[in-house]
Amino acid sequence: METIIIALSKYLIILFMLAYTFECFSVFRHKHEEGRKRIYIRQNIWMFFMQSVAYLALLLTERDLSILLFYFLQLLIMVAVIVLYHILYPRANRLILNNMCMLLSVGFIILTRLSRERALRQFSICAFTLALCMFVPYFFRRFRYFDKMAWVFAGFGIASLSLVLVFSRVINGSKLNISLFGITFQPSEFIKITFAFAIAGLLYSAVSLKQVLISGCVAGLHVLILVLSKDLGSAVLYFVAYFAILYVATRKLYYYLLGFAGGFVASVAGYFLFSHVRTRVTAWRDPIATIETAGYQVSQSLFAIGTGSWFGTGLSQGLPRSIPVVEADFIFAAICEELGVIFGLCLILICASCFVMFMNVAMRFHDPFYKLLAVGLSTMYAFQVFLTIGGVTKLIPLTGVTLPLISYGGSSVMVSLILFSLIQGMYISYRDENHTHPA
């Protein structure tokens, strides 16, 4: 009987995931939040069904009752977040809220399968951050001077990244982390937020050539420090976010083309300057030819995705631990192996619906600062998803960034939750000020 349940579970998980993903785009058929209430309720039902079936499968295969306790703790946190948002912020965007909870749920499921210890640690960080983030929309509505603090954000970001460059230890060829009072974190993750605030603050009131050059120097300094730290994945994110904000601020296409040209030149320079970039490019071009060295990770990732095929091997039925750093950079490969490529495609579509809604929020703003801020945060989120999944599937060379809200990593998941909360805060503020029900 247990064998039958485990075999059927993967199909039920995919079915519930397909239903949830369909509802993500059904939302956009309705112009007002009131018309979407039933969709949001159905989304919650599909999410909890999917989560319940997944943990039942894990319980039957692992035969560890602590999995059941972990499941109930997650259920408690998710229900609490949804209910508290409904009570405290009735004007909140429920699609953003539901997607945040769904992505966290997927992350917890696959991390529980891969490493119970890391899953518990990730859960603790998420629970703490979610409690703090409950105040972000409130604070955002009350404090209205962010646009005047561009140089504060810029200075803080440059100083923090410089400290990492000077004091951080080299790990795997890069300087990423710094320890403070026994806590290790990655400042470049948190500076993504202040970077978006800084560039939006510099460009919202004037887009003269002088102001563009000033903002370009600020952005360039951030990127240069990241390059010197060999944190090239973050450098790419900052670079792309800057030109997205610049294009929306100026509406001049040649700035965008200049960004592409600059990105191309920087990529070529990075290839010749950094040996690990050449290694990643070699692995990307032909991972099988270098399977014993540079191409091992990518090859194992492709084998895992191919093994999973459309419907996956089932939770705890695959071999995802054969991929190095699978809990972080390669978690998408583990998901596709055990939950299937269909599940993986649904995951991509859920992330896409987040980006569409984020940009929808951005374009609703008449206030140029909040429009640019939302564009910057949205671009960072979407491009990070693209870099992670693109690297895992050999679409692009590996960049070493995590999949937001899903991959293991305290700094990454904290910043992703803050990003979602900031977008939510902007949405709520807009609705409060305009007394409307925008999409």
Tell which of 219, 251, 273 closes a domain. 273
Position 423 scores a pLDDT of: 93
Position 95 scores a pLDDT of: 94
Position 438 scores a pLDDT of: 47
User: Concatenated DSSP letters for 243-266?
Assistant: HHHHHHHH--HHHHHHHHHHHHHH
CA neighbours within 13 Å on the CB side: how many for 144?
Answer: 6
77/160 same-domain check: no
Helix and strand totals (H; E) in the chain: 17, 2
Residue 139 lies in a domain: no
Position 157 scores a pLDDT of: 93
Listed residue (204, 216, 241, 258) closest to 375, CA to CA = 241
Whether the CB-CB separation of 195 and 158 falls below 8 Å is answered with: no
Residue 141 lies in a domain: no
Residue 354 lies in a domain: yes
Q: Residues near 89 by Cβ (< 8 Å), separated by ≥ 6?
A: 137, 424, 428
**Residue 178: beta bridge partners?**
185
Handedness of CA 288, 293, 296, 298 (dihedral sign): negative
156/267 same-domain check: yes
Whether the CB-CB separation of 204 and 224 falls below 8 Å is answered with: no
**Taking the model in full, what pTM does it have?**
0.92
Residue 30 lies in a domain: yes
Rounded Cα gap, residues 154 and 205, in angstroms: 16
Domain residue limits at 305: 2-134+279-434
Residue 429 lies in a domain: yes
Position 106 scores a pLDDT of: 96
Position 435 scores a pLDDT of: 61
Phi-psi region of 222 (alpha: psi -120 to 50; beta: other; left: phi over 0): alpha
159/234 same-domain check: yes
Count of domains forming the chain: 2
108/245 same-domain check: no
Tell which of 246, 273, 300 closes a domain. 273
Position 331 scores a pLDDT of: 94
Residue 355 lies in a domain: yes
156/109 same-domain check: no
Position 91 scores a pLDDT of: 87
211/172 same-domain check: yes
300/409 same-domain check: yes
Residue type, 45: I
29/176 same-domain check: no
Position 182 scores a pLDDT of: 64
* Tens digit of each residue's pLDDT, the chain (439 residues): 667 777 788 899 999 999 999 999 998 887 776 778 889 999 999 999 999 999 999 998 888 888 999 999 999 999 999 999 999 998 889 999 999 999 999 999 999 999 989 999 999 999 999 999 999 888 877 777 888 889 999 999 999 999 888 877 766 666 677 776 667 778 888 999 999 999 999 998 877 888 888 998 999 999 989 888 888 888 889 999 999 999 888 888 777 777 778 777 877 777 777 776 777 787 787 788 888 777 888 889 999 999 988 999 988 888 888 888 899 889 999 999 999 999 999 999 999 999 999 998 888 888 889 999 999 999 999 999 999 999 899 888 888 789 999 999 888 999 999 999 999 998 888 777 766 544 4
Residue 140 lies in a domain: no
218/123 same-domain check: no
287/242 same-domain check: no
Residue 439 lies in a domain: no
Tell which of 273, 288, 307 closes a domain. 273
39/72 same-domain check: yes
430/295 same-domain check: yes
